[in-house]
Amino acid sequence: MIGRGKVRGLVSAALGASLIAAAPACAAAESAAAFFQGKQVRFYTMGSPGGGYDTYMRALIPHLEKKLGARMLPTNEPGAGGLIAVNRTVNAPPDGLTILLVGGETLVTAQLYDAPGVNYDVRKLAWLARVSSEAKVALLGPKSPYTSVADMARSATPVTWAGSSKIDGNTDFTAIMAHALGMKSKMIIGYKGTGDMNLAIQRGEVDGRVVSEESAALYGASNGMRVVTVLARTRVEQFPEAPTLFEAAKLAPAQARLIDWRASIAGLGRLMVVTPGTPPERIDLLQKTLAEIIRDPAFVAEAKKLSLSANHAGADEVRATVEQAMTMLDKAGLAEIRQIALDRYYQ
């Protein structure tokens, strides 16, 4: 039998060991918190001023500043479908003072499509959180003659769509939609951002564009635009009357599989990234801070007033979803997708 004195000694030793182990972690957390005090953090977004990403960034900023004690410098880099913003972030000093709000699908599809300017490996990025996830919708302008998916599918002339680049997170999905419907389409790319595309749609220079449901709710109705379909299996809360593509058209199994694949990538939503190589304790602090903000009912209500959503997912969940997206298609399927998304509708 072990005497009481010895038991107390063992318990004391175990407690002491746990306290010693916890001490470095506490010290690291305190060090990270102290590091951000009074610092300036460059906050990049792939969105143009006034768009959904820009609005979300500016909604987050006051909360991040309050919790971190840092000053956020908002920086819009909408060029090249968000790749400029991504590359600026991954190539910044790895100190935690550069963060990015970006479309997860943009990161994944750009690498899958082997797009020029991809200087990162999506599997090695330093994830902070998913802040929101939403489905994609097809939005048509007030001067477009089409009123439904059926109208577009049977049109003898190409339906025209606006985009900033082939891999901007929306245009490739537009091409995949066109392929699934057997719809004659033409992609018009090179627009600088949301404002330019909206103006082109209102003027009737193009029929419409594919966007997130949040972005459609944010600026669609006020500009006379209308959602004709949801590019997913289920309808969305923002536009309950809009049918899904699967309701609006009879898709062959192969076409349905492509829509499902692309919709799953769109489900990555808006992601927060920090420069790879940032000290782990600073990454941990940023992750916990974002979780607190996004899960706060007050922030959820604030986001809803802005026609945005707030549904947090942690770094591990984001990492697993990215891995699935990167491996879902075999070599032949990926080659087919590249041809559809990057070549077919740009004559």
One DSSP character per residue, 111-122 reads HHTT-TT--S-G
Q: What pLDDT is stored for residue 160 in this prediction? A: 98
Q: Is 80 exceeded by the pLDDT of residue 3? A: no
Q: Is the same domain home to 217 and 276?
A: no
Domain assignment present for residue 30? The answer is: no
Residues in the chain: 347
Residue partners of 271: CB distance under 8 A and separation at least 6 = 101, 102, 103, 104, 107, 127, 128, 129, 130, 131, 318
Residue type, 341: A
Q: Residue 202: pLDDT band by 50, 70, 90 thresholds?
A: very high
- Give the C-alpha separation, 249 to 251, whole Å: 6
Q: Is the same domain home to 118 and 149?
A: no
Going by C-alpha positions, the residue among 66, 65, 86, 64 that lies closest to residue 75 is 86
Q: Is the same domain home to 244 and 290?
A: no
Q: Is the same domain home to 335 and 195?
A: yes
CATH of the domain at 119: 3.40.190.150
Question: Domains in the chain: how many in total?
Answer: 2
Residue type, 176: I
Q: Is 70 exceeded by the pLDDT of residue 13? A: no
Residues 297-301 have a mean pLDDT of 96
Q: Residue 8: pLDDT band by 50, 70, 90 thresholds?
A: low
Q: What pLDDT is stored for residue 300 in this prediction? A: 96
How does DSSP classify residue 184?
-
Q: Is the same domain home to 195 and 156?
A: yes
CATH of the domain at 212: 3.40.190.10
Higher pLDDT, 286 or 78: 286
Convert the pLDDT of each residue in 49-106 to its tens digit. 888 889 999 999 999 999 999 999 999 988 776 788 999 999 999 999 999 999 888 8
Question: How do 185-189 and 159-163 pair as beta strands?
Answer: parallel
Residue type, 130: R
Domain assignment present for residue 149? The answer is: yes
Residue 240 exposed, middle or buried by CB count within 10 Å (0-12, 13-18, 19+): exposed
Domain assignment present for residue 23? The answer is: no
Convert the pLDDT of each residue in 20-39 to its tens digit. 544 566 777 789 999 999 99
Q: Is the same domain home to 50 and 128?
A: yes
> What are the φ and ψ backbone dihedral angles of 212, each rounded to 5 degrees?
-75, 155
Q: Residue 7: pLDDT band by 50, 70, 90 thresholds?
A: very low
Domain assignment present for residue 106? The answer is: yes
Q: Is the same domain home to 273 and 192?
A: no
- Give the C-alpha separation, 92 to 44, whole Å: 11
Domain assignment present for residue 6? The answer is: no
Q: What pLDDT is stored for residue 47 in this prediction? A: 78
Domain assignment present for residue 321? The answer is: yes
For residue 295, give its domain range: 36-133+268-327
Q: Is 70 exceeded by the pLDDT of residue 155? A: yes
Domain assignment present for residue 192? The answer is: yes
Q: What pLDDT is stored for residue 16 in this prediction? A: 54
- Give the C-alpha separation, 259 to 242, whole Å: 17
Q: Is 50 exceeded by the pLDDT of residue 19? A: no
How does DSSP classify residue 174?
H
Q: Is the same domain home to 285 and 174?
A: no
Q: Is the same domain home to 252 and 322?
A: no
Q: Is the same domain home to 163 and 228?
A: yes
Q: Provide the mean pLDDT of the chain.
A: 90
- Give the C-alpha separation, 138 to 208, whole Å: 7
Q: What pLDDT is stored for residue 215 in this prediction? A: 83
Q: Is 70 exceeded by the pLDDT of residue 14? A: no
Q: What is the CA radius of gyration of the chain?
A: 23
The answer to whether 189 touches 164, Cβ cutoff 8 Å, is yes
Percentage, residues of the chain above pLDDT 90? 69
Residues 286-313 have a mean pLDDT of 95
Residues 261-273 have a mean pLDDT of 92
Going by C-alpha positions, the residue among 190, 189, 179, 188 that lies closest to residue 152 is 179
Q: Is the same domain home to 214 and 283?
A: no
Domain assignment present for residue 338? The answer is: yes
The tokens 């199994």 sit on which residue?
253
Q: Is 60 exceeded by the pLDDT of residue 2? A: no
What are 127's strand-pairing partners?
273
Q: Is the same domain home to 282 and 296?
A: yes
User: Which of 93-97, 118-122, 153-157, 172-176 comes out lowest in average pLDDT?
Assistant: 118-122
